[in-house]
Chain A
Amino acid sequence: MSVVASDAAIPLAAPSRRRVSFRAVFGLSVLLLLGGAAVLAPQLAPWEPGKQMLLKRLRPPVWQARGLREHPLGTDHLGRDILSRILYGGRISLGVGLTAVTLAALIGVSLGLCAGFFGGRTDAFIMRVVDVFLAIPYILLAMGVVFALGPSLLNVILVMGATRWVQFARIVRADVLSIREREFVAGARARGNRPLRVLLRHVLPNALTPIIVVATLELAFMIIYESALSFLGLGVQPPTPTWGWMLSDGRNYLANAWWLATFPGLAIMLTVLAVNLLGDWLRDTLDPRLKV
């Protein structure tokens, strides 16, 4: 009996791998669909996202009574088409998310490389800075800074990147610590390469896998982060439609217009879900040891 029990505990590789890749395919397709919809928003959207039609205020989605066929997901309190606004909002969410992750990766990877490669005091200093950023509630810091500098697209991206580089630094540092001991690094040094060249040509390419995985998972986070700032009124400013703003607008109509707050939230959830599925799959396939 005990033999049977332990058999069941040993993970069966084949079925779980098949299930993981189904998830990845699902995530990737949803993401491509959403990305495509965001890029093609001007062509796809039935209405101008900012067009107010006050005679058609607060119309429910098409399947409810009073719903209109030309507004499949209904209209908001100013009579703007929800579907069109969600399509346009995706441009901000995905665009800002991708840029902010890139920025965070640039900062984090550079610092992580330096910490891991040079070690000693450099390492100790950088890791303490990492601890400081872990300790500060990043959303408050971001709000404070964005408010002080003024909420603009650029400031939002800068602040998001500057507060979320920590994961990259930690993971890269840990990887570099082991890579730098390998023979090819010693070889590259012995050939008289300068440290910067060794770092960029020999160490960095070998640390790419975890960077890709972290970047994917952080993208999901950044999308939530951006819409949180928008929700609090500190994101990209109106009239640009963002999912966070739409949610924040919908807050005042929870009792009589459920669709205002529901659909933008669904859009955020679906996007984050897709990115997470992709990230999980990347991690399991590329580097199962990685714990992010």
Chain B
Amino acid sequence: MLGYVTRRLLQSLGVLLGVSVIVFGLLHLTGDPTRLLLPLEAREEDVRQLRALLGLDDPLYVQYARFLGRAVQGDFGLSFKHQLPALTLIFQTLPATLQLTAAGLGFALVVAVPAGILAALKRNSLLDAICSVGVLLGQAMPVYWLGLLLIMVFAVGLGWFPAAGRDGPASLVLPAAALGAFSMARIARMARSGMLEVLAQDYVRTARAAGIRAFVVTYKYALKNAAIPLVTIVGLEFGVLLGGAVITETIFAWPGVGRLAVDAIFSRDYPLVQAIVAVLATTFVLINLVIDLVYTYLDPRIVYVRSLR
């Protein structure tokens, strides 16, 4: 177990190192970053001076080492646009994004898990049919369109919820629903097929044959085992949601990291873009690390299987 934890930690570090290479490469994709910093009419001499100042004349690997050294200490440089440390800006907006993501995921789980389980228990019923249509639509509806529809119906039409901004719990409803819909469809589908699989297992049949009440069999024996794959999905889904938050925040003018990122990209604020990508990737890696560790606790066989790979 300890060996597995160590190996998994090292793996995560390796992934973060890879992320840093890509984040570093992002800046150099544009060619010469000094051109972004200086006005168009800047003299050739000024450009050369700034290049030297920023260390852009050093070989790439020296620049990368310097970038990595600073990034590890949380220093991604000043945002071009806001003239504040990039990380400070992110930590100002990250709570809003985490709130939105958690609400979206919570909404998805609350609807999807019971729906999926009921659909599996009442297989081929009307409820099951409604569920699968919902799943199909949920998976096919892009978040930006669903967001617009929700605004059109519930904000403009009925006036129940605000259309934009972050102002109290009511303003969280529409963005969370839009963001969570896709995950909801996926989780419901997983819950249904997982539950069907478990219900067909020998131990469920044995429990039933032994005369244990159907309710206990379903909710104690079957549900517990069907929950295991759901835990991993939630981890991966969190990454999907963080990505989806970029678009959702743009539509609903939600003051989170996603909107900050879109804004940074359009104003060529590269230090900020780099920092955001790095922070979101790190969040994703950490969450999945935790989930993997929880997973081995739930199902001890996993360690063995993974170490064989």
Contacts and interface: CB of A to CB of B under 8 A. Distances in A.
A138 B243 contact: yes
A65 interface: no
B281 A137 contact: yes
Interface string A130-167: 01101111111101110111000000000000000000
B247 interface: yes
Nearest to A6: B205
Contacts of A268: 140, 142, 145
B285 interface: yes
B262 A232 contact: yes
Interface stretch (A43-51, A190-198, A271-279): A271-279
Contact of B22 (A141, A244, A265): A141
The B interface is mostly helix, strand or loop, or mixed, namely helix
Interface in A5-38: 5-6, 8-12, 15-16
Interface stretch (A67-75, A99-107, A180-188, A247-255): A247-255
Residue from B139, B199, B236 whose CB has the most chain A CB atoms within 10 Å: B139
Contact of B246 (A139, A147, A254): A139
Contacts, number: 150
Contacts of B29: 144-145, 148-149
Contact of A135 (B19, B123, B143, B266): B19
A141 B139 contact: no
A148 to B, nearest CB: 5
A206 interface: no
A22 B137 CA distance: 17
Contact of B142 (A12, A15, A224): A224
- Interface size bucket, A side? 35 or more
B26 A269 contact: no
Interface string A213-224: 000000010001
Contacts of A138: 243
B137 A137 contact: no
Contact of A137 (B136, B139, B243, B250): B243
B33 to A, nearest CB: 10
Nearest to A256: B156
Contacts of B149: 261-262, 265
Interface of B: 11, 14-16, 18-19, 22, 26, 29-30, 123-124, 136-137, 139-145, 148-149, 151-152, 156, 196, 199-200, 204-205, 208-209, 211, 214, 236, 239, 242-243, 246-247, 250-251, 261-262, 265-266, 268, 273, 276-277, 280-281, 284-285
Given A134-B236, A258-B152, 7 more contacts: A2-B211, A145-B29, A232-B247, A247-B145, A254-B148, A272-B140, A276-B136
Interface of A: 2, 5-6, 8-12, 15-16, 128-129, 131-132, 134-141, 143-145, 147-149, 220, 224, 227-228, 231-233, 244, 247, 250-251, 254-255, 258, 261-262, 264-265, 268-270, 272-273, 276-277
